């Protein structure tokens, strides 16, 4: 995502993971302001998706997958996290499929350059 920050235009990732915190650009306030939101648990992720802090299918999908990884990392019940995340958005984005895929993975590739990291 290209973001104007002061006089500079920067290429920046919309959603990323710095264990155990999901970070995302607050897209509700763009382009007037630039702010990164820290997500510490599945409840906060549910709220961020529901209130459109994160927008667009790729970013929402990445956030959902990262939410499952985060749940595992913080010792949160992963089934409960998946149910909560799935309930945040109805429509064209298949959070059901993403959370199910995340639950089936032993480990998501969250290294720089991976699909989830680039969104």
Domains of the chain listed by start with CATH number = 2-107 (1.20.120.420)
61-114 tens-digit pLDDT: 899 999 999 999 999 998 899 889 888 876 544 555 555 555 555 444 444 444
The predicted pLDDT at position 101 comes to 52
Residue 54: pLDDT band with limits 50, 70, 90:
very high
Helices 78-86 and 57-74: crossing angle, nearest 10°?
Answer: 160
Q: Return d(Cα 74, Cα 59) in angstroms, integer.
A: 22
Query: What percentage of the chain has pLDDT greater than the value 70?
Result: 74
Q: Is the pTM of this model over 0.85?
A: no
């Amino acid at each position: 995502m290209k973001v104007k920050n002061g006089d500079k235009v920067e290429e920046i990732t919309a959603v990323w993971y710095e264990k155990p915190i999901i970070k995302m650009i607050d897209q509700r306030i763009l382009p007037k302001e630039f702010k990164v939101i820290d997500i510490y648990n599945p409840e906060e992720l549910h709220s961020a998706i529901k209130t459109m802090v994160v927008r667009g299918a790729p970013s929402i999908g990445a956030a959902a997958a990262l939410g499952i990884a985060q749940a595992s990392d913080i010792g949160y019940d992963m089934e409960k996290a998946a149910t909560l995340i799935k309930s945040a958005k109805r429509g064209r984005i298949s959070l059901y499929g993403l959370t199910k895929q995340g639950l089936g993975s032993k480990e998501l590739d969250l290294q720089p350059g991976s699909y989830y990291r680039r969104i």
